């Protein structure tokens, strides 16, 4: 659960830029603002009505509802266009122990709210019969096999029968809720194929617009010859002639009610009564005429949208973005053109830590809530740090969004290309507002530019590497994922009854911002350094190794291994990687995690790699929890310095002076953060460096003792044995 002062409610919607969803969201945000609640909206971008393999990955944004930050969830069920997506979302929320409310839905066993659609349509019919005195009315509804289509028809039938007016099947026209249905009906009226009634009720605005547009160029005059009324006001009336009379389905009130229900469940406060009934919006398609108040609101919205559309069209955002050569250039371009998004207060770029490698077809490209991520501040309501912030996917965002202030109306939109997810943008509003279709254009430019940047990274890597092979990583010469999988399968086939297969997975550079394109040369050199360490270890145990994705490596060997054997190999491997010169300088301590498995011939090898990946992600999550400490970065700087140079004259008082830290709380805070006292950690750093020198050099024990800060060689040997269970020489000469 969220531990912040303000509750956080997640909203699952689709294509949040659409008019209908914006109405609903403004109601949600307005009520949340009133009740002191934060909102996190999760929305896809395209939301195709049918399954699309190219954009399926955008719906992974809904996996974020598993975050422990969320105190409740609202699902705008009607916005989810195809059944498979609805079913997947229901799977995501199935085991969540928080209040969940569905809007625009009727689902057994769920809290569902909706406007009274039948009552709405009855109000429209009464307007035509009672206000205008019409007796001959047609109804255009949705598909014939759709339940809501028949509900809307029956609402009109009930009013007509109450007034003793004829209403038969010849007055019902089935369509598809889109423009072309209205156009086809207009053709029937124009040609005389269908008798012209006094009025037509179109049960959504799109069909009404199609009817109006087609009739405009013919002899049927609106409203003199025919009155037309729409339903579900979508705010596009001024684009059609005459201005449509329509009925406003009160989506905003539905949004308010959803928030009120969750607030009541969270606090125990009485449920507020909220009227969700809609209202007529007069126009010129009936004789009522346009009401200025509504027209003024629509024109203001359209003018603002037009202005921002022209800004996007006339600006050179796309040219600037695609020419970026580094992630820092890219962030500056986003900052320079953030004004193209109307009323947004904050923009944050959240990328998977290994986003540059997302083009790889990797079995570990599935993400868990423990997946490490990097957050870059683009703009924010208040001043904030420009340093990247690290967090895990399940956190949604860092504990403190830099510069975000204390009010968060956040929109999460996916960043993806070619079927690969890179992360997501967070758009922050400090007032109850939503983004529109113009923002989607900005988003598309941003995503395309990021993909171009990733491709530039690939090209730079290829230029620096040689010995290309279908089964080998280009930078390191290690097996790539496909090559390692093939070799692993062969090794499994060779296992005898007494033998097993040892697997060790290594994840490096946790929470290190070296995915930056402008540090790619450094990253390649570090890759090569790590591969040397892996090859050295693999040679000792007669195994083989691979790089299966960015910063993720694996070693395998067949033999008669025990758990103790594997523990010793992992210890040595961790030492030689973490203390290799480039790694310890650039990445430091607490950035390397490992997992292992011992597998017999009967076990399923395919399950091992995902299982080890999840083990490592769990360890990353534990580290992430440590990093929440306010002084973590300051104390990590001390710790990294100590592990790089343990032979220095380290003591708590000198450290406090050097790093300008308060001595009074230093010892307690250090142990609170790292789970070990400063003095014990100093000993561990010296023993770790001693292990590294024993494994990688031939220098003698006295020299190693001196380099690690020991003035007494015998004391060093006694302490080494006490902590490792063996002597320095035995450790150096062991075969594993």
Reported as a single tens digit per residue, the pLDDT across 206-232 is 999 999 999 998 989 999 999 999 998
Q: How many residues does the chain have?
A: 736
What is the β-pairing status of strands 72-76 and 8-13? parallel
Q: Report pTM.
A: 0.74
Eight-state DSSP code of residue 469: B
Which residues, including other chains, have CB under 8 Å from residue 305's CB and lie 6 or more apart? 342, 436, 437, 438
The Cα–Cα gap between 354 and 375 comes to 13
CB 60 within 8 A of CB 414: yes
- Distance between alpha carbon 6 and the CA centroid of its chain, in Å? 21
- Distance between alpha carbon 188 and the CA centroid of its chain, in Å? 48
R_g of the chain computed on alpha carbons? 32
Reported as a single tens digit per residue, the pLDDT across 136-175 is 999 999 999 888 899 999 999 999 999 999 999 999 999 9
| Residue-level pLDDT at 418 | 82
The Cα–Cα gap between 230 and 372 comes to 49
Tell me how far CA of residue 6 lies from CA of 65, 100, 325, 407, 409, in angstroms: 17, 18, 40, 9, 12
| Residue-level pLDDT at 515 | 52
Helix (H) / strand (E) element for 264: namely helix 251-267
Shortest CA distance to 475 belongs to which of 486, 462, 485?
462
Reported as a single tens digit per residue, the pLDDT across 76-132 is 998 888 888 888 898 889 889 999 999 988 888 888 998 888 999 999 999 999 999
The Cα–Cα gap between 406 and 426 comes to 15
Cis peptide before 223 (omega within 30 of 0): yes
| Residue-level pLDDT at 455 | 80
The Cα–Cα gap between 212 and 640 comes to 71
φ, ψ of residue 504 to 5 degrees: the values are -130, 120
Which residues, including other chains, have CB under 8 Å from residue 644's CB and lie 6 or more apart? 584, 585, 588
Shortest CA distance to 498 belongs to which of 562, 554, 436?
562
The Cα–Cα gap between 164 and 488 comes to 80
DSSP secondary structure of 610-675: HHHHHHHHHHHHHHHHHTTSTTHHHHHHHHHHHHH-TTS---HHHHHHHHT--HHHHHHHHHHHHS
Reported as a single tens digit per residue, the pLDDT across 253-274 is 999 999 999 999 999 999 888 9
Q: Within 13 Å, how many C-alpha atoms sit on residue 171's CB side?
A: 21
What is the β-pairing status of strands 420-429 and 346-352? antiparallel
| Residue-level pLDDT at 734 | 80
Tell me the β-bridge partners of 10: 40, 73
Q: Within 13 Å, how many C-alpha atoms sit on residue 369's CB side?
A: 13
Eight-state DSSP code of residue 171: G
Eight-state DSSP code of residue 359: T
Which residue's structure tokens are 């179109």? Answer: 202
The Cα–Cα gap between 493 and 496 comes to 9
CB 430 within 8 A of CB 6: no
Q: CB count, 10 Å around CB of 363?
A: 14
Which residue's structure tokens are 């929305």? Answer: 43
φ, ψ of residue 70 to 5 degrees: the values are -80, 135
Q: CB count, 10 Å around CB of 84?
A: 13
Longest CA–CA span in the chain (Å) reads: 109
Helix (H) / strand (E) element for 541: namely none
Q: Within 13 Å, how many C-alpha atoms sit on residue 462's CB side?
A: 8
| Residue-level pLDDT at 360 | 42
The Cα–Cα gap between 601 and 515 comes to 38
Q: Which tokens hold the place of 564?
A: 């103790």
Q: CB count, 10 Å around CB of 407?
A: 17
| Residue-level pLDDT at 109 | 81
How far apart are the two ends of the chain, measured CA to CA in Å?
45
Mean pLDDT, 10 residues at a time, over the chain (736 residues)? 74 92 95 95 87 83 93 93 86 91 86 89 96 97 91 96 96 95 96 96 96 92 96 91 95 95 94 90 95 91 88 86 88 94 95 71 52 92 90 89 88 91 94 91 93 74 50 83 87 82 91 59 83 90 90 92 91 92 87 90 80 89 80 87 88 75 81 90 94 92 92 93 92 78
Ordered by where they begin, the domains of the chain are 8-115+251-277 (3.40.50.2300), 117-249+280-300 (3.40.50.2300), 317-460 (3.30.450), 481-611 (3.30.70.270), 632-733 (1.10.10.60)
Shortest CA distance to 433 belongs to which of 20, 23, 725?
23
Tell me how far CA of residue 597 lies from CA of 164, 178, 512, 533, 608, in angstroms: 79, 57, 26, 20, 7
φ, ψ of residue 309 to 5 degrees: the values are -65, -45
């Amino acid at each position: 659960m969220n531990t912040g002062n303000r509750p956080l409610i997640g909203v699952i919607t689709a294509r949040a830029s659409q008019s209908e969803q914006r109405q609903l969201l403004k109601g949600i945000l307005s009520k949340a603002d009133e009740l002191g609640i934060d909102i996190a909206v999760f929305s896809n971008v395209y939301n195709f009505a049918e399954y699309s393999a190219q954009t399926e990955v955008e719906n992974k944004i809904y996996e974020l509802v598993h975050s422990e930050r969320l105190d409740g969830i609202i699902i705008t069920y009607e916005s989810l266009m195809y059944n498979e997506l609805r079913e997947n979302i229901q799977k995501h929320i199935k085991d969540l122990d928080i209040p969940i409310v569905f809007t625009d839905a009727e689902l057994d066993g769920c809290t569902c709210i909706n406007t009274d659609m039948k009552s709405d349509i009855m109000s429209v019919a009464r307007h035509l019969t009672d206000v205008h005195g019409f007796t001959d009315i047609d109804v255009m509804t949705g598909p014939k096999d759709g339940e809501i289509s028949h509900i809307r028809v029956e609402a009109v039938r009930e009013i007509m029968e109450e007034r003793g007016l004829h209403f038969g099947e010849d007055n019902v026209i089935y369509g598809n809720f889109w423009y072309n249905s209205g156009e086809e009906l207009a053709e029937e009226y124009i040609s005389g194929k269908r008798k012209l009634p006094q009025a037509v009720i179109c049960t959504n605005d799109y069909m009404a617009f199609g009817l109006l547009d087609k009739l405009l160029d013919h002899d049927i005059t609106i409203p003199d010859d025919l009155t037309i009324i729409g339903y579900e006001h979508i705010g596009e009336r001024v684009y059609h002639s005459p201005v449509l009379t329509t009925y406003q389905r009160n989506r905003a009130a539905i949004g308010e009610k959803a928030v009120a229900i969750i607030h009541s469940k969270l606090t125990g406060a009485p449920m507020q009564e909220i009227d969700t009934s809609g209202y007529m919006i007069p126009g010129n398609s009936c004789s009522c005429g346009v009401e200025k108040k509504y027209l003024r609101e629509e024109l203001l919205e359209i003018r603002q949208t037009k202005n921002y559309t022209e800004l996007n069209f006339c600006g050179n955002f796309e040219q600037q973005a695609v020419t970026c050569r580094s992630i820092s250039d890219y962030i500056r371009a986003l900052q320079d053109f953030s004004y193209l998004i109307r009323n947004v207060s904050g923009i944050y770029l959240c990328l998977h830590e290994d986003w540059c490698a997302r083009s790889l077809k990797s079995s570990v490209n599935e993400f868990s809530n423990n997946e490490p991520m990097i957050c870059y501040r683009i703009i924010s309501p208040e001043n904030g740090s420009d340093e990247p912030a690290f967090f895990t996917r399940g956190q949604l965002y860092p504990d403190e969004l830099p510069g975000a202030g204390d009010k968060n109306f956040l929109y999460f939109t996916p960043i993806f290309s070619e079927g690969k997810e890179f992360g997501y943008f967070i758009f922050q509003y400090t007032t109850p507002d939503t983004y529109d279709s113009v923002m989607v254009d900005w988003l598309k430019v941003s995503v395309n530019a990021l993909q171009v940047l990733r491709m530039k990274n690939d090209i730079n890597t290829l230029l620096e590497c040689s010995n290309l092979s279908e089964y080998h990583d280009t930078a390191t010469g290690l097996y790539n994922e496909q090559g390692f999988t093939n070799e692993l399968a062969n090794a499994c086939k060779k296992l005898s009854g007494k033998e097993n297969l040892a697997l060790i997975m290594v994840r490096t550079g946790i929470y290190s911002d070296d995915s930056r394109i402008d540090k790619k040369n450094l990253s390649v050199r570090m890759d090569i350094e790590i591969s040397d360490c892996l090859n050295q270890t693999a040679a000792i145990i007669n195994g083989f190794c691979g790089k299966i994705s960015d910063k993720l490596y694996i070693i395998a060997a067949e033999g008669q291994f025990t758990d103790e054997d594997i523990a010793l190999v992992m210890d040595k491997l961790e030492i030689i990687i973490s203390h290799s010169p480039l790694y310890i300088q650039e990445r430091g301590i607490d950035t390397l995690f490992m997992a292992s498995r011992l597998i017999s011939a009967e076990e399923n090898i395919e399950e091992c790699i995902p299982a080890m990946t999840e083990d490592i992600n769990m360890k990353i999550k534990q580290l992430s929890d440590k990093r929440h400490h306010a002084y973590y970065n300051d104390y990590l700087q001390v710790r990294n310095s100590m592990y790089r140079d343990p032979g220095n004259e380290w003591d708590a008082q000198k450290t406090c002076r050097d790093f300008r830290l308060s001595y009074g709380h230093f010892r307690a805070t250090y142990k609170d953060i790292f789970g070990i006292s400063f003095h014990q950690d100093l000993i561990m750093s010296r023993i770790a460096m001693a292990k590294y020198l024993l494994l990688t050099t031939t220098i003698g024990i006295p020299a190693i003792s001196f380099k690690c800060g020991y003035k007494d060689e015998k004391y060093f040997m006694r302490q080494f044995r006490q902590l490792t269970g063996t002597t320095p020489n035995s450790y150096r000469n062991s075969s594993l």
